[in-house]
A and B are shown apart, each in its own frame.
Chain A
């Protein structure tokens, strides 16, 4: 499968614990995005990278959230001191930014449940 992959697919944690998710983009894609999706809603933008540089973060993103893409390939999203409100599907997407072209392809997501 040469698409976007995410690990783990499901994560159950207790409130207050830290969690880390991984995203592997399509290999030649230089942009990587993180979204959060709750039931009945569309994906909500969190942050994105171009290569290893984090270019934008949503103002809605709590300082408990941090994302990295150290070598411009895979990315990790860490949530510290999880809260029940963090329960959601966390989606990763990647794209190849070219002039006039920037289609985003999504991964299968990581479903987080905070007890």
Chain B
């Protein structure tokens, strides 16, 4: 089955700096890669996703890149703000098989 690894487990940056979180997956058939943000005590919220037919997707300060050959994808947050502080999870699935596997999460802290 699919196995998703996520790094780093914790990340601390200064406000205004960029943050990068990386994930690798094992099943080459996976073709859908969402990223979720989870604040303390709240539900995971989708922030961006990418499908295997594109290599990069951007939404304002957030971007995701996908390297299918290397089986890794990354989340990039630019101009970080304190409200970006949360746990971020990557996930991977084969769209016809919705056994979506999550990474263990990255706790991002943005220091003002």
Indicate if B29 sits at the interface (CB-CB under 8 A). Answer: no
Indicate if B89 sits at the interface (CB-CB under 8 A). Answer: yes
Chain B nearest CB, measured from A30 CB (Å): 12
Structural contact, B97 and A40, CB atoms closer than 8 A: no
Structural contact, B105 and A104, CB atoms closer than 8 A: no
Interface residues on chain B, number (Cβ under 8 Å): 24
Indicate if A100 sits at the interface (CB-CB under 8 A). Answer: yes
Indicate if A45 sits at the interface (CB-CB under 8 A). Answer: yes
Closest A-chain residue to B89, C-beta based?
A42
Could you say which of A45, A55, A106, A109 contacts B45, with CB atoms under 8 Å apart? Answer: A106
Chain B residues with CB under 8 A of A108: 42-43
In B11-55, the 8 Å CB interface with A consists of: 32, 34, 36, 42-46, 49, 51
Interface residues on chain A, number (Cβ under 8 Å): 24
Chain B nearest CB, measured from A10 CB (Å): 11
Indicate if A8 sits at the interface (CB-CB under 8 A). Answer: no
Indicate if B95 sits at the interface (CB-CB under 8 A). Answer: yes
Main secondary structure of the interface of B (DSSP, over half): strand
Structural contact, A105 and B46, CB atoms closer than 8 A: yes
Structural contact, B99 and A56, CB atoms closer than 8 A: yes
Q: Scoring A residues 60 to 82 as 1 if CB is less than 8 Å from chain B, else 0, what string do you get? A: 00000000000000000000000
Closest A-chain residue to B95, C-beta based?
A102
Chain B residues with CB under 8 A of A33: 98, 100
Interface centre among B42, B95, B99, B104 (most CB of A within 10 A): B99
Interface centre among B43, B46, B89, B103 (most CB of A within 10 A): B43
> Which of A's residues lie within 8 Å of B, judged by CB?
4, 31, 33, 40-45, 48, 55-56, 58, 91, 95, 100, 102-109
New A-B pairs, 15, CB < 8 Å, besides A41-B104, A104-B34:
A33-B98, A41-B105, A42-B4, A42-B6, A42-B102, A42-B103, A56-B98, A95-B98, A100-B51, A102-B95, A103-B34, A104-B46, A105-B46, A107-B43, A108-B43
